Amino acid sequence: MSDSIQRPAIRKRARTDMPPWLVRAERLLIEAVRSVRLLGSVVPRNAPQERARLISSFEGGQAATPRWSYARTDHSLLRKALARAAQRLSSESHPIAQLYAARARELEVEAALASEAGTAVLGALARARFRSASPHAAGEATILARKWMAEAHDVKAPEAPDLLVSDAPVPGSLLTRMREEVGRLGLPFAVVVQPSLSALAATGERHILVAAGRMTTREDVERTVMHEIEAHAIPRQRASQARLAIFQIGTARGIDDQEGLALVLEDRHGYLTPRRKRELAARHLAVEAMDGGATFTDAVQALVKEHHLTVPEAVLVSERAFRGGDGTSPGLGRERIYLEAYHRVGEHLAKKPTDEGILTSGQISIDAIAVLSPLVRKARQTEPPPVPPAAPTARN
């Protein structure tokens, strides 16, 4: 990792100093995080083929329903172990134990979601996991989404010569730029292409995934590289160096607030352009429609007719909203947390900017800062790594 990045130093202590309940909790929760892999479990195995079929159908004027297939895993034994652990940890008086208990409960829900991919049960479980912090916060997020969408009606599609395939092995592509930045910072991540990915990129424990065959602008590339590196990869690397595993396991709602932080960083770097706001707003409104009873087909048609997205854009947005489902019943709907978390994290950091050093020490929620801040000696605002000169974009 580059010396130009300010790293909060996490106080380490010998594992022999840890109470037995903490050692047991860490072993179980680390196993759970590595086993569940929620986002991977809700990606359809046939996503690229179905995406192409759905786009073709809608562009031809025919409504279509997804025929996604999933590789479900039975996590019933793990769920029982997590539920028992949460109950035991809740009886411990130490505030750290309460953080582990809350994360165990959250992981139990995520294990259930991974087990129910493709079933009608998933939607209700997803709403429990990704519920809003409050009705007021949810309302504010929807108001912001509608405001951004209204402002973006005149956004023009990028010209074809300015587009580059996401996984092209050429200078300036998303795959190339992501590998360049990972190498420059010395991060222990392999950058690999994932054809099923609906997002442009995603960061796992030791991999950064890049979508295949997606047309991207130079702005898309640089924003996505910054988003995955600064908001996800660097915190994961810092967390792996901490002796206390809660930084690596994450706290309850820590993943949610990390997505909010990512949008705050996008805003700071000037990447929250009208086009990007339109994309985020469309995702939020698609999930809102899904929660109101809309099917995949309904969501696609509304995004095209009411919000003027192209058919490929509307299919991709709806795919993200309904992933894990069957297109008729609700899917994961994880996008409902983005704008709410963006507002929550931005408002918190405006008041306490040094807390950014804690949020970037792992998948840490704002609610957990008070408990974890004594474990971080240098809680200060991080400085982004210097941006290297951009490689020239290849022309088609």
Residue 381 domain-assigned (yes or no): no
Instruction: Output the pLDDT for position 380.
Output: 44
Residue 7: partners with Cβ closer than 8 Å, 6 or more residues away: 1, 238, 378
Residue 392 domain-assigned (yes or no): no
Say if residue 207's pLDDT is above 80. yes
- Residue numbers of the domain that contains 67: 15-375
Q: How many residues are given for the chain?
A: 396
Q: How many domains does the chain have?
A: 1
Residue 304: partners with Cβ closer than 8 Å, 6 or more residues away: 58, 310, 311, 314
How sure is the predictor about 374, in pLDDT bands with cuts at 50, 70 and 90? confident
Q: In what order do the strands lie in the sheet with 207-211?
A: 190-194, 207-211, 201-203
Tell me the torsion sign for CA atoms 11, 16, 21, 24.
Answer: positive
- CA–CA gap between residue 230 and residue 232 (Å, rounded): 6
Residue 289 domain-assigned (yes or no): yes
Residue 384 domain-assigned (yes or no): no
How sure is the predictor about 153, in pLDDT bands with cuts at 50, 70 and 90? confident
Q: Are strands 215-216 and 190-194 parallel, antiparallel or unpaired?
A: unpaired
Query: Contact, 348 vs 366, CB < 8 A?
Result: yes
Residue 386 domain-assigned (yes or no): no
> Could you report the per-residue pLDDT of 4-63, keeping only the tens digit for each?
333 444 444 445 467 899 999 999 999 999 999 999 999 999 999 999 999 999 999 999
Query: Contact, 310 vs 304, CB < 8 A?
Result: yes
Residue 355 domain-assigned (yes or no): yes
Instruction: Output the pLDDT for position 377.
Output: 55
- CA–CA gap between residue 205 and residue 191 (Å, rounded): 12
> Could you report the per-residue pLDDT of 87-108, keeping only the tens digit for each?
999 999 999 999 999 999 999 9
Instruction: Output the pLDDT for position 157.
Output: 66
Residue 6 domain-assigned (yes or no): no
- CA–CA gap between residue 140 and residue 342 (Å, rounded): 11
Q: What percent of the chain has pLDDT over 90?
A: 83
Tokens, residue 40: 């991977």
Residue 170 domain-assigned (yes or no): yes
